[in-house]
Structure 1
Amino acid sequence: MTFSVPALDQFRRSRLPVVRAAEASECGLACMAMIARYMGHDVDLNGMRQRFPVSLAGTKLRSLMDLAGHMGLATRALRADLDALPKLRTPAILHWDLDHFVVLKGVRRGRVVIHDPALGRRVLSPSAISKHFTGVVLELAATADMKPVAARAPTRLRHLWSRIDGFWAALAQVLGLSAVLQAAVFAAPFYLQLSVDAAIGTGDIELLAVLALGFGGLVVVRVLIAALRSWTLQSIGFLMSFQIVGNLVHHLLRVKTEYFEKRHVGDILSRVDSVRPIHEALTQGVATTVIDGLMALAAAAILFLYSPLLATVVLVSVVLGLAVTYALYPAQRRRTEARIIASAKAHTHLVESLRASTVVKLTGREAEREGLWRNRYADVMNASFSAGRLAIGVTATQGLISGLQTILVVYLGARLIIAGEGFTIGMLFAFMSYRQMFTDSSLALINQVVRFSILHLHLDRLGDIVHAERDTPPLPWNKRQREPATVAIVPWVGRRGWAGGEPRRTAKRSAGDGFGALRAGLDRPVGGGVAIRNLSFRYGAGDPLVLDHVQLDVAAGAFVAFTGPSGGGKSTLVKVMLGLYPPTAGEIRLDGMPATPSVWPDWRKRVGVVMQDDQLLSGTIADNIALFDPEIDMQRVRDAASAARVEDDILRMPMQYLSTVGDMGSTLSRGQHQRVLLARALYRDPKLLFLDEGTANLDEETEAQIVDLVSSLQITRIVVAHRPALLEAADTEYR
């Protein structure tokens, strides 16, 4: 396809935005979001991600071309050298560093302007470009068939904040106290004016004493009101922060597994930290903005009552300060974003190094990892220094304007006094006080508005979490508040506990209850059947199918095994059967019922799982086996540990079941670790047991005991294995 000379669309250029990639592999999608916005589509990255999901493998050029076609954009892929960059139709997508995409905005005065999904807007020299540009370019143009697509998912405060009882009443109280406080502040200059003009001018000592006592009492009242307002603001801030962060974590723990697979832990934590400036703005910023605005208006009115000439000088200087702040706001936003992202990268690198500390030590790579961290932390310091330098420039400019304003006001005011035009020395003192109030309130209002504008940056970062798709539908707010008390494990017909007693969680097991009942072949319906029809799965649009038209029937109580070469999709199939990955096509039925999103939560509560990458949490061994059950049953813990053949090892430890383990390591061997995970799965009294290489770290004797246990369980068992012991014990083997 050839592209014609740019036509009328060249004359209606919209602004090319900068879209930051949140996932490690979505740089191509971010580039498409930038260009789609430029071409007239109303999209953002959250909306694009929902419509065009990508996998961890990233996006190929062919996939970008297909995506552009879906959005009514024509594409042309070509090879170009550096000399051809000024001649390209922009914006265009450049292939970068062999594993990345950026958007070419244009070439200005020999400098190349790009929008990098990882680093933001960059202006580079041709020599710097040559180190990264691979020569592959994708040009894009709107076609006659293009219709604007609305795929935008903006983040609003209502996504984070549901309701706080008494919030509006408390905020009204803060505003009322602030109004009274500012009235007291406004009265203070009159003390100076009356003291100079009325008391000092007439030598009236009694009037001076009365003024001192009256305004002294006003100071005491002002301090008490300020303390009460601060206490109220603090209370509101604590409540709001607790709810916003609580809502965010509530949602984060329920998003799909793929969300965490595509992101770095430091970046996620950094996004959660964006809550802090938001709740600070809502609690303190709102009241401050309203009061500063009213105070500035009132002070301006008083200034004009004193002297229109002097008031005009003050007003012009504040407008100049506003112009400086507005002109530098885009740079301030970019540098703030750069600092946040650099901090997230440094945090991620440090967390990864700590988690892999044993590997780092064994390979002697401490210096290399430290060097890489220092480089990332240097980026944080450079970004902070750049933002700080800009802030110093803004403060210095505003200070210069304010200083010149003071000199000019005093000069003009003194001339008015000398000219005898009814402007007294006391009035000049009072005017200067009101001038300071107006200037301070106006600048505080301007800076607060800038902070509110930068809140969009934090809201956009939180939007990556807020708009992440959950694997189960959210409850309405009125039900979510009562969730811990009302949501319970749904009992199933004939399902009983390990000793054949009452359904689980209705009563504590006695010390005599043991794990043997599960092995005893109870005469009861088992449940746990799984049926799969024409199931296919791929990780992202354009990726090859990992599972292709899978047909599978697992009867209730059956023992089946999946085996085959590594990378063949066995673990992926297990995750699909657990609802962690939604199938691309096909159907899953659980005990004959369609596996809809609302079914998975209750299904998982009746499933025991040991996956290859399972982790223990920080706590005791008993806590981990019971998975921090608030009503832990120690007899069940011991029964599960005994069945998993790990109790003898636990009892040899000094603290036994109270021994501490954690995600960063413990005294447990890999085999013990795996058996604790198995005990955790058995503690749940599962209806269906999944083991993904659940005996890979065990010796032959222990493995034989575990295989005997699994074989005798009267529940459905699905295992992934390569070793023959489990494969030979299974009723059915799938390859």
Structure 2
Amino acid sequence: MQMEALECGAASLAMILAYHGKWLPLEQVRSDCGVSRDGSKASSIAKAGRSYGLEVKAHRYGVDEVKENVTYPAIIHWNFNHFVVLCGFTKNAAVINDPARGTINVTMEEFDHSFTGVCIEFTPGENFEKGGKPESVFKFLKDRLANTTASVIFVMITAALVAFVGLVTPVFARIFTDQILPGHNMHWLEMLLVAMLFTAIFRMIVGFLNEIYLYRIKGKLAIVSNASFMWHMLHLPMDFYAQRMVGDLAGRQKLNDQIAETLIAKYVLVETKAPEGYVRSEKEESVIFAYEDGNTKEIEITKELTNERIPTGGYSNSPKTEDDTNIWLPFFLLLLSVGGIAGIIWYTKRKNHD
């Protein structure tokens, strides 16, 4: 997928290379395609493809000629301002891999309207070499969530307990319907109500703790990504900025929060501590990356935090406190609830006996 509006040609070529077994970073393909603030030309894409060992053929085709003659996948020019990958045709639609939207099916009417006639075919040549491998989202999570194993385990346990409570609730309804409502075991009613009460309390507490630690994990992921991004941006050469629009760079910053939102949970990051390995203030104060006020505020925050550069290699706030999560807390709450129910039942029986 393209990261910027002008990378469609480079992203399309990267897709072609990946299809033939050669995985390259988009930044490298972008550089080889000569992408500038004006985008890239079809001739530059073809030249870059030949440099990778592909045999390239450029044509100007009509719709019928594309369906009959083109070897898929191929890059086509779209709406006079975009490059996409044509993967083939179905009975009534064209299959397009759009670097901006992903794989889509477009009607033949839309294809006829949007296709400009420029088509570039790619086939592996004698000098083509396969290599590389796709980026793994699990590696991304592993790097960003270092030293949070206990928190992740805690969230998994609390989620399992919440699911278990959801399975127990219908059992209460069945006991009430089959045993108490017909009048067979009326003495069960008090115990059932007590059990339902403590189950509801337990569900509320565990659900609350689950959300709290989801906040922590998502906050850590967002802050580490933002800090890493800002530190990387400040060390890039001027050529990088000369080829890009300011809006595209600002959009990348917001993607860090969106990635954390997607991977962890649908919550809003409010505040968390700056991660070790990137930036830290002298007073270890809390950090908030606010995008709404523009680049000026972001730069001021960065200057305040970069009083001390800490060697990369860890994401925790302190090497002595990797994670203070108590993964036994849900089990303690469960035992507490069971003990409370047992105590009330014992007290009720004793009162009835007296």
Which TM-score band applies after superposition, normalised by the shorter structure? 0.5 to 0.7
Match of 2:172, SS state, is helix
Displacement of 1:67 in angstroms is 1.9
User: Which of the residues 199, 218, 223 maps onto 2:180?
Assistant: 199
Query: Secondary structure of the residue that 1:274 maps to in structure 2?
Result: helix
Deviation (angstroms), 1:238: 3.2
Deviation for aligned residue 1:116 = 4.3
User: Quick check: 1:161–1:243 contact (8 Å CA) kept in 2?
Assistant: no
Distance 1:80 1:225 in 2: 62
Could you tell me which of 62, 65, 86 is aligned with 2:46?
A: 65
How far did residue 480 of structure 1 move?
4.0
CA distance in 2 between counterparts of 1:160 and 1:70 reads: 34
Q: Please give the alpha-carbon distance, in whole angstroms, between the structure 1 residues aligned to 2:237 and 2:279.
A: 22
Report the counterpart of residue 148 of structure 1 in structure 2.
130
- After superposition, the Cα gap between the structure-2 partners of 1:276 and 1:198, relative to the gap in structure 1 and judged at 3 Å, is same
Aligned to 1:170: 151
- Structure 1 residue 283 displacement after superposition: 4.3
Asked if 1:252 corresponds to 2:205, the answer is no
Distance 1:131 1:28, change over 3 A: closer
Which fold has the larger relative contact order, with Cα–Cα distance below 8 Å and residues 6 or more apart in sequence?
A: 2
* Other-structure match for 1:241: 222
Work out the number of aligned pairs and report it. Answer: 282
Q: Give, in angstroms, the shift of residue 148 of structure 1.
A: 1.7
Note the C-alpha offset of 1:208. Answer: 1.9
Q: Which residue of 2 aligns with 1:129?
A: 112
Map 1:552-591 → 2, pairs under 5 A? none
The counterpart of 1:36, out of the listed 13, 17, 30, is 17
Task: State the shift of 1:57 in Å.
Answer: 4.4
Measured after TM superposition, the shift of residue 184 of structure 1 is 4.1
For normalisation by structure 2, the TM-score amounts to 0.61
CA 244–196 in structure 1, closer or farther in 2 if over 3 Å, else same = same
Deviation, structure 1 residue 70: 2.0
SS of residue matched to 1:222: helix
CA offsets 1:672-713 (integer angstroms, 9 cap, x no match):
xxxxxxxxxxxxxxxxxxxxxxxxxxxxxxxxxxxxxxxxxx
2:203 aligned partner:
222
Residue in structure 1 matched with residue 325 of structure 2 by the alignment: none
Matches within 5 A, 1:423-502: 480-481=278-279
Query: What CA distance in whole angstroms lies between the structure 2 residues aligned with 1:215 and 1:25?
Result: 59
> Of 105, 110, 124, which residue of structure 1 is paired with 2:87?
105
- Summarize the Cα distance change of 1:108–1:210 in structure 2 as closer, same or farther, 3 Å threshold: closer
Task: Read off the aligned partner of 2:153 and give its amino acid letter.
Answer: A
Closer, same or farther: CA 200–158 of 1 in aligned 2, 3 Å: same
Contact 2:37 2:244 survives alignment (8 Å): no
Percent identity, please.
24
Q: Distance in 1 between the 2:115 and 2:27 partners?
A: 28
Tell me the residue number matched to 2:324.
Answer: none
1:79 & 1:185 partners in 2: Cα distance? 61
Per the TM alignment, residue 171 of structure 1 is displaced from its structure 2 partner at its CA by 3.1
In 2, distance between residues paired with 1:189 and 1:208?
A: 16
The structure with more radius of gyration: 1
What code does the residue aligned with 2:122 have?
Answer: L
**TM-score, normalisation: structure 1:** 0.33
Structure 1 residues 196, 243: closer, same or farther in 2, change over 3 A? same
Aligned counterparts of 1:195 and 1:83: Cα–Cα separation in 2:
69
Q: Match for 1:206: what amino acid?
A: H
In structure 1, distance between residues paired with 2:204 and 2:141 = 34
Report SS of the residue matched to 2:187: helix
Residue 31 to residue 142, structure 1, CA distance change in 2 (3 Å): same
Secondary structure (helix, strand or coil) at the match of 2:129 reads coil
Separation (CA, whole Å) in 2 of partners of 1:629 and 1:115: 43
**In 2: Cα distance, 1:190 partner to 1:98 partner:** 63
**Structure 1 stretch 108-117 or stretch 222-231: which is displaced more?**
108-117
- Partner secondary structure for residue 126 of structure 2: coil
Deviation, 1:83, is: 4.2
Q: Deviations over 1:428-487 (max 9, x none)?
A: xxxxxxxxxxxxxxxxxxxxxxxxxxxxxxxxxxxxxxxxxxxxxxxxx976456x77xx
- Structure 1 residues 253, 157: closer, same or farther in 2, change over 3 A? farther
Q: Which residue of 2 aligns with 1:677?
A: none
Change over 3 Å in CA distance of 1:149–1:50 after alignment to 2: farther
**For each residue in 1:635-688, what CA deviation from the matched residue of structure 2 results, as whole angstroms up to 9, or x when unmatched?**
xxxxxxxxxxxxxxxxxxxxxxxxxxxxxxxxxxxxxxxxxxxxxxxxxxxxxx
Shift of 1:122: 5.3
Within a 5 Å distance, the mapping from 1:3-402 to structure 2 comes to: 20-43=1-24, 45-49=26-30, 53-91=34-72, 92-96=74-78, 100-109=82-91, 112-118=94-100, 120=102, 121=104, 123-125=106-108, 129=112, 132-133=115-116, 135-150=117-132, 154=135, 156=137, 158-159=139-140, 162=143, 167-280=148-261, 282-284=263-265
User: Structure 1 segments of 4 or more deviating over 6 A?
Assistant: 163-166, 627-630
